[in-house]
Amino acid sequence: MHEQKYGELGEVVHHTLFEDGTITKYDVKFGNKTIKNIPADMLEVKKQQEHSHEPTEEDDEDKEESNCS
């Protein structure tokens, strides 16, 4: 997934994920700099790539919010 902030195109390297599929924050790499915890509503999706995975033990322990990279 690529995101745009202030006219720059970046690449998502990590995101939060709630049980209902909601993503609230992203870590995005812009060139050689990574900005962490950017609220989803501050970014504009330019190219979306979906993925899925089985829950990890960490996901099972923290049912409310998990992280995905």
pLDDT above 50: residue 6? yes
The backbone region for 21, taken as left when phi is positive above 0, alpha when psi lies in -120 to 50, beta otherwise, is left
Q: What is the pLDDT of residues 13-67, one digit of tens each?
A: 999 988 888 899 999 999 899 999 999 999 988 888 887 766 655 544 444 555 5
The backbone region for 6, taken as left when phi is positive above 0, alpha when psi lies in -120 to 50, beta otherwise, is left
pLDDT at 40: 93
pLDDT at 52: 74
pLDDT at 24: 94
